[in-house]
């Protein structure tokens, strides 16, 4: 019983006929057959006995072809070229040998050269490493690679890391977040990567999971890679770290840069105000348009939590003076004065009680802030809206009276203030714990 040939039957048939045409013995033809089966990929090889049986059968067929003056069929062309190539016959020599075997069935010269060149390219690429490519070629390949490929290439060698780091950054949005002490989530352009030491971490759609004991180091190394390029221009940067060690790693990365980061919108979850200050110092003042800071006590703060945000140092920064939209959430501020230059803002205060506003001396801090802000908003050309959230109940009726607001007939909560000597109006939306003003 003959085993199935490793080559397709038509190719094996053509190869044996071509060797018979060259007056090769069965033994020499078998050696040529084994070379063809071993290059460019390893294939199963027939036994010498089975090959000899086929060789004898096809010899009878070749005898009939020759006696009738016929040549090998055209479909033999490619396997013939393969046979000559593994025997290291030159392109010119192979063309002449095959032309003699096929006669009028011979392919066009350019078709022959196409197949021969294809084998030459395979031979060259078999020993070619990615690092052997010209520098400019590698740079182009890296440029068109996806995020996963680039992060992988950075870990292969110092040269590839340098090439990847020199690429024009394709990131427009980046976020980083830690979950407990076992996972860090990093999003690059909405492509999510989870770094964790938990091998059973649940898989999510379109999320790559990297499991490693040193997951923090790997995560922040990939995170830092994006920021080292001074040409980076982000539309958004979201930072949600609640572990002190992670916070410090982030600050160390940002402080190591020799440039400020171009960011249009930044969100920071923080456990202490100094952390916010350190991040804002690393952002380019002229590009930041919108800022959100949310209080989130650090997991390792050991009860050392802050009760308010002063903004004393932040309000003196050039960045603060040029930003237009700010939100300070989940923690009260001391004063709204630093916000008066903004286009929009949302803040939380401890109290805006009208009991203080209505005191005879009108010296309550809350009343002064509201009156002062109403004047500032009415005179400001930048102001559009603000929201002030109070931890204590707001007596809206007294606020309306104190600020001389007029009510809108079809709305219980909405009032307005006509700005003198102008056509502008300030609208107040008063609810139990919130005052919203819109110009």
193 band by pLDDT with thresholds 50, 70 and 90: confident
The residue segments making up the domain with residue 57 are: 9-126
pLDDT tens per residue across span 381-397? 577 888 888 877 666 67
Same domain (yes/no): 276, 187: yes
What's the rounded Cα separation, in Å, for the pair 26 and 34?
12
pTM of the model: 0.62
Work out the angle at residue 230's Cα, subtended by the Cα atoms of residues 224 and 231, and round it to the nearest 5 degrees: 115
Asked if residue 112 belongs to a domain, the reply is yes
Domain closes at, from 96, 126, 156: 126
> Is the backbone peptide bond immediately before 40 cis, with ω within 30 degrees of 0?
yes
Give the mean pLDDT of 404-411: 72
CB atoms within 10 A of CB 33: 25
Q: Does 329 or 137 have the greater pLDDT score?
A: 329
What's the rounded Cα separation, in Å, for the pair 278 and 251?
7
CB 38 within 8 A of CB 87: no
Same domain (yes/no): 60, 81: yes
DSSP string, 132-159: GS-HHHHHHHHHTS-HHHHHHHTTT-HH
Which residue blocks in 176-301 are alpha helix, DSSP H? 215-227, 244-256, 273-280
Inform me whether the pLDDT recorded for 367 exceeds 80: no
Same domain (yes/no): 21, 95: yes
Q: What letters, b where the CB count within 10 A reaches 16 and e where it falls short, cover 39-62?
A: beeeeebbeeeebeebbeebeeeb
Inform me whether the pLDDT recorded for 343 exceeds 50: yes
Asked if residue 18 belongs to a domain, the reply is yes
CB 227 within 8 A of CB 209: no
236 band by pLDDT with thresholds 50, 70 and 90: very high
Asked if residue 159 belongs to a domain, the reply is no
Tokens of 423: 């056509």
Same domain (yes/no): 343, 320: no
Separation in Å, CA 157 to CA 44, 91, 161, 256, 353: 37, 39, 6, 22, 63
Domain closes at, from 74, 109, 126: 126
Asked if residue 4 belongs to a domain, the reply is no
**Mean model confidence pLDDT for the chain:** 80
Same domain (yes/no): 336, 437: yes
Closest CA to 374 of 340, 334, 414: 340
SS3 assignment, position 405: coil
Tokens of 68: 């009738």
Give the mean pLDDT of 363-371: 38
Q: Does 166 or 249 have the greater pLDDT score?
A: 249
Tokens of 362: 């009108």
**Maximum Cα interatomic distance, the chain, rounded to a whole number of Å:** 128
365 band by pLDDT with thresholds 50, 70 and 90: very low
| pLDDT-above-90 percentage for the chain | 28
Q: What letters, b where the CB count within 10 A reaches 16 and e where it falls short, cover 387-408?
A: bbbbeeebbbeebbebbebeee
Same domain (yes/no): 292, 339: no
pLDDT tens per residue across span 40-78? 888 889 999 999 999 999 999 998 988 888 888 887 788
Asked if residue 116 belongs to a domain, the reply is yes
What's the rounded Cα separation, in Å, for the pair 425 and 396?
19
Asked if residue 157 belongs to a domain, the reply is no
Tell me the angle at which helices 9-21 and 77-86 cross, rounded to the nearest 10 degrees.
Answer: 60
Task: Say how far residue 146 (Cα) sits from the centre of its chain.
Answer: 8
What's the rounded Cα separation, in Å, for the pair 409 and 391?
28
Unique residue bearing structure tokens 């033809």: 29
Tokens of 364: 């309550």
Considering its fold, how many domains does the chain have in total?
A: 3
Same domain (yes/no): 256, 121: no
Same domain (yes/no): 387, 432: yes
Asked if residue 214 belongs to a domain, the reply is yes
Number of residues that this document lists for the chain: 439
Domain closes at, from 69, 100, 126: 126
Same domain (yes/no): 233, 373: no
Same domain (yes/no): 289, 401: no
Same domain (yes/no): 236, 96: no
Same domain (yes/no): 302, 350: no
Asked if residue 158 belongs to a domain, the reply is no
Q: What letters, b where the CB count within 10 A reaches 16 and e where it falls short, cover 180-205?
A: eeebbbbbbeeeebbbbeeeebeeee
């Amino acid at each position: 019983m003959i085993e199935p040939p490793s080559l397709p039957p038509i190719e094996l048939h053509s190869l044996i006929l071509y060797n018979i045409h060259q007056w090769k013995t069965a033994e020499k033809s078998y050696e040529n057959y084994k070379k063809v089966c071993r290059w460019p990929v390893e294939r199963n090889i027939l036994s010498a006995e089975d090959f000899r049986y086929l060789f004898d059968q096809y010899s009878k067929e070749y005898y009939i072809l020759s006696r009738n003056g016929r040549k090998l069929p055209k479909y033999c062309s490619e396997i013939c070229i393969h046979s000559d190539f593994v025997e290291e016959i030159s392109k010119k020599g192979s063309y002449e040998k095959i032309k003699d075997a096929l006669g009028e069935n011979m392919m066009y010269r350019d078709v022959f050269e196409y197949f021969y060149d294809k084998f030459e390219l395979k031979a060259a690429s078999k020993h070619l490493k990615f690092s052997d490519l010209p520098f400019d070629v590698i740079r182009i390949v890296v440029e068109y690679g996806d995020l996963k490929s680039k992060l992988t290439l950075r870990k292969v060698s110092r040269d590839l890391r340098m090439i990847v780091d020199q690429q024009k950054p394709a990131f427009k949005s980046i976020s980083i977040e830690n979950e407990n002490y076992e996972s860090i989530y990093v999003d690059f352009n909405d492509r999510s990567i989870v770094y964790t030491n938990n091998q059973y971490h649940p898989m999510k759609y379109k999320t790559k999971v990297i499991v490693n004991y040193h997951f923090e180091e790997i995560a922040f190394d990939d995170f830092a890679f994006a920021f080292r390029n001074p040409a980076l221009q982000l539309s958004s940067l979201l930072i949600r770290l609640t572990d002190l060690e992670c916070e410090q790693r982030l600050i160390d990365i940002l402080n190591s840069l020799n440039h400020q980061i171009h960011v249009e919108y930044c969100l920071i979850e923080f456990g202490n105000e100094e952390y916010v200050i350190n991040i804002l110092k690393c952002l380019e003042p002229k590009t930041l348009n919108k800022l959100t800071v949310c209080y989130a006590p650090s997991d390792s703060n050991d009860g050392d939590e802050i009760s308010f945000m002063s903004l004393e140092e932040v309000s003196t920064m050039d960045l603060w003076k040029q930003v237009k939209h700010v939100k300070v959430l989940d923690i009260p501020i001391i004063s709204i004065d630093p916000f008066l230059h903004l286009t929009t803002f949302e803040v939380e205060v401890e109290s805006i009680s009208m009991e203080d506003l209505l005191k005879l001396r009108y010296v309550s801090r809350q009343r002064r802030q509201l009156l002062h802000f109403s004047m500032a908003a009415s005179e400001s050309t930048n102001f559009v809206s603000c929201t002030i959230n109070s931890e204590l109940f707001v007596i809206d009726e007294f606020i309306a009276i104190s600020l001389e607001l007029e009510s809108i007939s079809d709305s219980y909560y909405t009032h307005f203030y006509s700005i003198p000597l102008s056509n502008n109006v300030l609208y107040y939306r008063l609810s139990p714990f919130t005052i919203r003003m819109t110009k």
